[in-house]
Amino acid sequence: MLDRLAEEEIRYLEAMIARLEAGEEDPEDFRVYRLKNGIYGIRGRPEHHMIRIKLPVGRITPEGLRVLAEVAERYAENRLAHVTTRQAVQLHHVHRRDVPQVLRAVNRVGLTTREACGHSIRAVTCCPYAGVSPEEPFDVTPYAERAYRYFLRHPVGQNLPRKFKIAFEGCRTDHARTPIHDIGVVAAVEGGKRGFRIYVGGGLGAAPMGAELLEPFTPEEDLLPTMLAVIRLFDRYGNRKVLTQARLKFLVKRWGIAEFREAVREERRIVKLTASGADLEAWTPPEDPPPPALPTPPRKPLSFAPGFEAWRRTNLFRQKQEGFYTVTVRLPLGDITPEGLRALAEIAEAYAGEVRSAISQNLLLRFVPEWALGGLYEALLEAGLAQAGAHTLLDITRCPGADTCNLAITRSRGLAAALEERLQALPLAQDPALRPLSLKISGCPNACGQHHIADIGFYGASRKVGEREVPHYTLLLGGGTREGEARFGQVIGRVPARRVPEAVERILKRYQAERQNGESFQAFLDRVGADSFKPLLADLQEIPPYEEAPALYEDLGAEGQAFSVSLGRGECAV
């Protein structure tokens, strides 16, 4: 059933489109409205759009998967659904006239595009292992769900100085990457009472900053009032004159965390004293969710199908519920076809209790019985969804890049594909010490691919050689996060796009050859110094004239095309 508010928004959009095509609508007004509803421009194609569909706290039903398959197949020119690092799905190259049909279809299954862009509360993401992790003191899912519902369409979030992102985590392991969010919420228990450690002021982009601890313990009943107080202060005092200085992180830095903390406490007091009945109802701590309805898959012995053991080593997570696993369905490049979505919906109904997305751009099947793993693997294998290597070196994060984005310099999809092909062919990719390393790629400095927090990160760049532009990537080493700390990768230099796979191979081989027993990549970098990799890569940065090596002047994923930097008006920052 279509939500009444969503239908009103879609009708308004339809009317704007009709006026725009009749020359009666201001294009800038249309742009502002469509962005508020998660509809982006496409590079070089003004009548086509990217649509970002939120998966509430990462959840999606089998019915939702089928609807995504339908709209990707009917309306996305490339017939792909792209899973993002913010628990959303993007459809690319949707014609303007088809946008309302897509919005109606996804809203009928509980999904929305509302506030997936613009100066709004863009995302409330949640640890994909919430509710099943042996590490967690309690399940943060219902709290994240409550925050998502409370702030969706909330007046305070409609015209903020800049975009705003929230993440919930319950585990000791920082799956949700809380230190890089405007608000990071981490489960805590004090004196037997549930609550949270709240962090504020994190963010990536051209000036990455780690979040600061706001309070060591916020009782569960004060969670939403505290979050609302932070957002109200940001709305009131954030920099509305200079877009590049508008994120919450700059306000926290300007005031200092001590002053900001006191301001939040005073604002929270006012928030609570002026609360409406609807607020008080929403702020009531949620109850723990009931366990999901579990299927009864056929009992089969463990599979002897090709690749089962490799898949089992990397794609399974043992749940705290005895006898159950969470299974990662790895999506190379973050993409899945309509056929894959439909197959996954059937597999989820037969084998799993629920489906969630992860910020690793993968989908997770939760509550899979141990005795059903063999049958599940064979079903995934038949559907082409049994890729091993989840959350390993091969599981590369990447943004859409210059294929569609107006701000991107390079085609990050092409680099990710080339890197995966190179690494799969190398025996060193099976080294247990190398397997946990992360590779993340962005097509520009804006960090949609989260390159700052990768062991090995890249973002798109360009360099002029003679009269021609050469696609490059800026290399960073040593990024990562844990609760309360974001470590941003150190810039090593720029490498021509087509030489990046060789650069990564050299980095891995050096680490493999020189590491000490049990030494992590981060510890290795601390010991030898990230700068010590510069001489290792120096020869790769030398570029011969075009006549001697014309391929170097082409971007990966754009073979046969002359490379040039042609940036449009960016909308990811709007």
**Close Cβ partners of 400 (under 8 Å, ≥ 6 residues apart):** 50, 82, 90, 92, 408, 412, 413, 443, 448
Distance CA 457, CA 455 (A): 6
What does each C-alpha distance from 527 to 220, 438, 481, 509 come to in angstroms?
42, 19, 19, 17
What does each C-alpha distance from 96 to 17, 48, 50, 280 come to in angstroms?
8, 6, 10, 40
First to last CA, the chain: 31
* pTM for the model: 0.96
pLDDT in tens, 512-532: 999 999 999 999 999 999 999
Helical (H) or strand (E) element with 41: strand 39-42
Helical (H) or strand (E) element with 364: strand 362-369
| pLDDT at 572 > cutoff 60 | no
**Residue 311 has which token pair?**
């898949």
Distance CA 480, CA 362 (A): 19
Average pLDDT over residues 130-139: 98
More confident residue, 168 or 402: 168
Q: Which domains does the chain have, with CATH numbers?
A: 4-107 (3.90.480.20), 121-283 (3.30.413.10), 308-383 (3.30.70.3340), 406-553 (3.30.413.10)
pLDDT in tens, 264-302: 999 999 999 999 999 999 999 999 989 898 888 877 777
Q: How confident is the model at residue 382 (pLDDT cuts 50, 70, 90)?
A: very high
DSSP conformation class of 390:
T
pLDDT in tens, 40-85: 999 888 999 999 999 999 999 999 999 999 999 999 999 999 999 9
Percent of the chain whose predicted confidence (pLDDT) is above 70: 98
| pLDDT at 259 > cutoff 80 | yes
What CA dihedral angle connects 231, 232, 234 and 235, to 10 degrees? 120
DSSP conformation class of 431:
-
| pLDDT at 567 > cutoff 70 | no
Distance CA 122, CA 114 (A): 9
pLDDT recorded at residue 206: 87
- In the beta sheet, which residues pair with residue 126? 168
Distance CA 563, CA 506 (A): 26
CB 486 within 8 A of CB 180: yes
**Residue 123 has which token pair?**
């995302």
Helical (H) or strand (E) element with 65: helix 62-75
Distance CA 170, CA 263 (A): 27
Angle of helix 338-351 versus helix 62-75 axis, rounded to 10: 170
Average pLDDT over residues 125-130: 98
pLDDT recorded at residue 569: 63
| pLDDT at 571 > cutoff 80 | no
Q: How confident is the model at residue 468 (pLDDT cuts 50, 70, 90)?
A: very high
Average pLDDT over residues 351-368: 97
**How many CA within 13 A on the CB side of residue 474?**
19
Write the DSSP assignment of 98-161 as a string of letters: GHHHHHHHHHTTT-B-TTSSSSSEEEEEE-TTTTT-TT-SS--HHHHHHHHHHHTT-GGGSS-S
Q: How confident is the model at residue 87 (pLDDT cuts 50, 70, 90)?
A: very high
Q: How confident is the model at residue 566 (pLDDT cuts 50, 70, 90)?
A: confident
| pLDDT at 226 > cutoff 70 | yes
CB 203 within 8 A of CB 247: yes
Distance CA 516, CA 519 (A): 5
| pLDDT at 574 > cutoff 50 | no
Q: If we measure between CA atoms, which residue out of 334, 358, 321 comes closest to residue 128?
A: 358
CB 94 within 8 A of CB 78: no
pLDDT recorded at residue 573: 46
pLDDT in tens, 96-115: 999 999 999 999 999 999 99
Distance CA 202, CA 176 (A): 13
Distance CA 387, CA 410 (A): 26
pLDDT recorded at residue 402: 86
